[in-house]
Structure 1
Amino acid sequence: MAFLKSLRLFWTFHLLVFIVADGIGGPRAHTLCQHLDDSTHIEVVRPNEADYEALRTENWAQTAWQMPTCIVRPRNTEHLQKVIPKLVASNVSFTVRSGGHCPHAGAGNLNNGILIDMSYFNHFTYDERRAVVEIGTGLRWGEVYAQLDKYQVTVVGGRVADVGVGGLTLGGGLSWLSDLYGLVADNVLNFEVVLANGAVINANLEHHPDLFWALKGGATNFGIVTKIRLKTFPIHQVWGGFRFHPISDLPLLMDAMFEYQSRSINDPYANMMIMASPTNDTVGVIVTLIYLQPKIQPDVFEPFYRVNSILDTTQLQTLTEFIISNPLPNSTTRFDWASTTLKPNKLLYQDLANISVRSTSIEQIHSVTAGTLLFGFQPICSSAVRAGHARGGNALGLESVDQTWVVIDAVWWWSDDDDTVHSAVQSVVTEIYDRSTERDLSLPFLFMNDANWDQDVIASYGRSSVEKLRSVQKIYDPSQIFQRLKSGYFKLP
């Protein structure tokens, strides 16, 4: 109660002096950068300094590159406790970057404001007796897996090694282990959070359980998460890899995925994904298969074995080796993505196969320089949702049914084509949503980690979840600093 009373007093004072934010940076941002540089021991990188260019373009996709007024690089929680209240007092726009994997402009970077770079938050401590690891949110998942390999254990973490710990976790986070243990956020035991008033709190099932729940899918609307504690699991050797197919095989592969999802006995050690690219003239479909035990060609994937592949890289390997084999596009390219969710259905899957090769949006994207369109189909078993409920629940409002999370990716070269490509991505997502709605198979949920900047993600969680998130915000960020001063997307509606 003493904590909440002091928090109310702090915000009562700041609400009295609150003024309009400093536009997109303006002179107050320059003044604050200078002040932080002169009066603290915190690293501040400004545009005239050698490291600035490399740091401002650290984000994975070129579409996210921006021109911050300065880049602040705190080394510990105490540094953040100094920086955040100064941002609030100066009313300066800011953002926070963990791995910088989200490709949208203003996500993990910004123009004319302060970028807080979390890369020094690389804390790693493994408690082998308790099978618990504590990691800094500036780490990337590949670094986490490599450290845990020494103990032949892993965590429910990102599927791509380069993705940052912080952003993925706060968006929910999809893992190859999710059918077994739920989403990444569901497996967090504790969040260390710095609030807008500089207070540091630990949110878990016993302390601040309301904030603990909200951070599992509620993004950066409440504070800056500096560390997370996760349970580890004894999974090390797996079987998996990629099977490559021509685009003409897509209808057969969609049938195989429906058969895989319709099996009478769920095997949570199995996971897979189909990625189709109608704009690729050589390999049009990549099927990712993984089995979380060292079992060669498990029977659960038999529907896919019946479709002959051009190339098959499946083999016994460590989970880390499997994850780092997932390639990323060159970071000099521009990137856009969006998501939608639907229930598995054989006829609908054939509709999706048809849309994937015949949508008018394909030619729209193919017409721009290096324009590439990809359709990702990600089966989510109801066991993943139930595992989340068993671990204290999350903010996502997921229905406990088998479902498929669809992601549409687009890649291109030039900024002049941004609007053309974005319009095409919107169109194809709408086309898929309309078809699934016609068949009464659409689900409202939007997966934040795959969502577009103009999709109303948190509203898709449902009214009760949104109301609960707002009530948590009123307690921990009543002046809505992270809603208003922090740039980026996926705010509370």
Structure 2
Amino acid sequence: MQHAAEKQPLGGSDAGAVQAFASTLRGKLIDPSDDGYESARKVYNAMIDRRPRLIAKVADVADVISCVNFGREQNLRIAIRGGGHNAGGLGVCDDGLVIDLSSINYVYVDPAKKTVRCGGGTTWAAVDHATHPFGLAVPSGIISTTGVGGLTLGGGMGHLTRQCGLTIDNLLSVEMVLADGRVVTASAGEHADLFWAVRGGGGNFGVVTSFLFKAHPIHTVYGGPMFWALEETAEMMRWYRKFITTAPNTITGFFALLTVPAGPPFPEALHNQKVCGIVWCYTGPLKQAEKVFRPIRAFKTPILDFVGPIPFPALQGMFDQVFPTGLQWYWKADFVRELSDEAIALHILHGSKMPTWQSTMHLYPINGAAAKVKNSATPWGYRDAVWAQVMVGVDPDPANKEKLITWARDYFNALHPYSAGGAYVNFMMEEGDDRIRATYGKNYARLAKIKKRYDPKNLFRVNQNIKPAAK
């Protein structure tokens, strides 16, 4: 049965309505007849190929209000696009209206209060650039071209998770446009139920036009990648699973299976070699860093060691050029509580078959500070997990699409029995309602009730969708 809000969108006879809508915007409204349409509809993941009816490159909050009202009144499917990635391509839709927030891009740092406010279309590169001169940082991901909005609303994990918690643990408030066109601020003291929901519930509850974060005194860290030969993966994984579960919160490192890029700064002898690695980030006193890393280096000498003092924004942007926009991506993910010997053997079996040099597997530690928060405190329901695991097939050539998908699915299916059940929503493609429910677990019912209150007709459903509660 077709949802009422999934009727065929505006046709040629509705040109007057579109023209009237366009006149309300300070930003630009793009349709398939415009020269810029093809570039405007493209997203970070080139495996996603969707053709929206309209793309609104909004200039401000007033534009967002107009878009939401127009989409609701015209029964249009609405997709919300921030400033960055979105693994599943959920920032664009077929036949509907895309609200593109990329022009709402600003950062304001209050060094006295140690807070950062930024627009809904901002990238983390912009945040890092603005905060670094003040010796501050906001916990985010590991690639600086990622958008603030998508990463935050899904939870947010990266180099500072063990030190400072998830991004949502450092979110103080949001300004957002609701399905009925109202603008509200959600925080611990205002619309507290909505504030709870957006800290991990994705874009289900409205269009977030600004974020206010708590920042931390972080400037230069001790970090970077260490690589070991692929044949040493089992030994390194066994060492790593013990180390990262007992290490102080000032140090984090995500484990990876990857292929060494064929170019500088990597030694030519390692080019295109499949390896295992750990990308480190230590935020303790720099004068103690060498001592902290001495036993790490002593356990097994890496074949490549690029770890040392580095400005935090440089660490954040270290992999941007490896993963530019426009690649084919296919993601599969799980939360993991234990890394058993059986699981390690499967990682080696499938990781050694990475189909392209950009394909990879990461195990992100989400213990430490992030684990001190209760599962019910935010929608992120896996605070007791130790890692967020992801395997991604990546390549620029569309001809390799099926090869990427098959490898990632086979890898995922082999490891899924050893997982905690759900997955990080920002690492999920469109995988169905059961998978979404598994990801939110006991928090799903509460999310569904809040969804009913703020978006009862499920206007915002181009996402990892939480359906409004029936009662």
Answer with 305-314 or 88-97: which moved more.
305-314
Q: Is the 8 A contact 2:370 2:383 kept in 1?
A: no
Partner SS state of residue 134, structure 1? strand
Residue matched to 1:8: none
**For residue 127 of structure 2, what is the amino acid of its counterpart?**
V
- The equivalent residue for 1:5 is none
Aligned to 1:474: 452
What's the counterpart of residue 430 of structure 1?
A: 413
The whole-number CA distance in structure 2 between the counterparts of 1:305 and 1:64 is: 45
SS state at 1:154 partner? coil
Checking the alignment, whether the CA contact within 8 Å between 2:119 and 2:209 is kept in structure 1 is yes
Partner of 1:214: 197
Show the counterpart of 1:379.
365
For residues 279 and 127 of structure 1, the distance between their equivalents in structure 2, rounded to whole angstroms, comes to: 40
1:216–1:29 CA distance, 2 compared to 1 (3 A): farther
Distance 1:231 1:403 in 2: 24
CA 1:340/1:39 → structure 2, altered by over 3 Å: closer, same or farther?
Answer: closer
Kindly report which structure 2 residues correspond to 1:76-87, keeping only aligned pairs within 5 A, or say none. Answer: 76-87=60-71
> Which residues in structure 2 correspond to 1:76-475 (within 5 Å)?
76-105=60-89, 107-263=90-246, 266-277=247-258, 281-293=272-284, 294=286, 295-299=288-292, 302-303=295-296, 305-327=298-320, 328-357=322-351, 362=353, 366=355, 370=356, 373-386=359-372, 388-389=373-374, 393-400=377-384, 403-415=386-398, 417-434=400-417, 436=418, 442-454=419-431, 456-475=434-453
Separation in 2 of the partners of 1:298 and 1:141? 31
1:70 corresponds in structure 2 to: 54
CA 112–469 in structure 1, closer or farther in 2 if over 3 Å, else same: same
After superposition, the Cα gap between the structure-2 partners of 1:301 and 1:326, relative to the gap in structure 1 and judged at 3 Å, is farther
Measure how far apart 1:268 and its partner are.
Answer: 0.6
Contact map agreement 1:253 1:304 (CA 8 A) in 2: no
- Look up the SS of the partner of 2:185 in the other structure: strand
TM value normalised by structure 1: 0.84
Q: Evaluate the alpha carbon distance shift between residue 217 and residue 153 of structure 1 in structure 2; reply closer, same or farther with a 3 A threshold.
A: same
Contact 2:125–2:145 (8 Å) recurs in 1: yes
- Give CA-to-partner distance per residue, 1:266-300, whole Å, 9 cap, x none: 41110101211379941422320110132433426
Residue type matched to 1:49 in 2? D
The equivalent of 2:464 in structure 1 is 489
Alpha-carbon deviation of 1:178? 1.5
Partner Cα separation in structure 2 for residue 35 and residue 450 of structure 1: 38
Which AA in structure 2 matches 1:451? Answer: M
Whether the 8 Å CA contact 2:365–2:387 is kept in 1: the answer is yes
Amino acid in structure 2 at the alignment position of 1:277: L
Amino acid at match of 1:471: K
Query: Do 1:275 and 1:376's aligned partners in 2 also have CA atoms closer than 8 Å?
Result: yes
The amino acid of 2:388's aligned partner reads W
Supply the AA of the counterpart residue of 1:489: Q
CA distance in 2, matches of 1:159, 1:123: 20
* Offset from partner CA, 1:458-477 (integer Å, 9 cap, x none): 31245531110111011111
**What amino acid is the match of 1:454?**
E
What is the one-letter code of the residue matched to 1:285? C
* In 2: Cα distance, 1:221 partner to 1:145 partner: 27
TM superposition shift of 1:302: 2.5
Match in the other structure for 2:39: 54
Secondary structure, aligned partner of 1:66: coil
Q: 1:356 to 1:140 in 2, by over 3 A?
A: same
279-288 vs 27-36, which deviates more?
Answer: 27-36
User: CA deviation digits over 1:208-227, x for unaligned, max 9?
Assistant: 11110010111111101111
TM-score by length of 2: 0.88
Cα-to-partner distance string for 1:397-447 (whole Å, 9 max, x where unaligned):
2243x512210010134445534532432222110012x2xxxxx312311
2:264 alignment partner in structure 1? none
The change in CA–CA distance for 1:340 and 1:186 in structure 2 (over 3 A counts) is same
Q: CA deviation at 1:30?
A: 6.3
- Equivalent-residue separation in structure 2 for 1:262 and 1:467 (angstroms): 31
**C-alpha spacing 1:60/1:146, structure 2 compared with 1 (3 Å):** same
Greater mean alpha carbon deviation, residues 248-257 or residues 198-207: 248-257
CA contact (8 A) 1:81 1:199 kept: yes
What residue in structure 2 maps to residue 15 of structure 1? Answer: none
Distance in 1, matches of 2:392 and 2:11, equals 34
Partner Cα distance (1:144, 1:371) in 2: 30
**1:252–1:307 CA contact under 8 A, matched in 2:** no
Letter in 1 for 2:152: T
For the 8 Å contact 1:126–1:132, the answer to whether it is kept is yes
Identity in percent: 21
Q: Secondary structure at the match of 2:6?
A: coil
Please, which runs of 5 or more residues in structure 2 have no aligned partner? 262-271
- Distance verdict in 2 for CA 1:394–1:46, change over 3 Å: same
Aligned length: 452
Deviation of the 1:349 alpha carbon: 5.0
Distance 1:305 1:33, change over 3 A: farther
Looking at structure 1, the residues matched to 400 and 16 of structure 2 have their Cα atoms a distance apart, in angstroms, of 36
How far residue 123 of structure 1 moved from its aligned partner, in angstroms, is 2.8
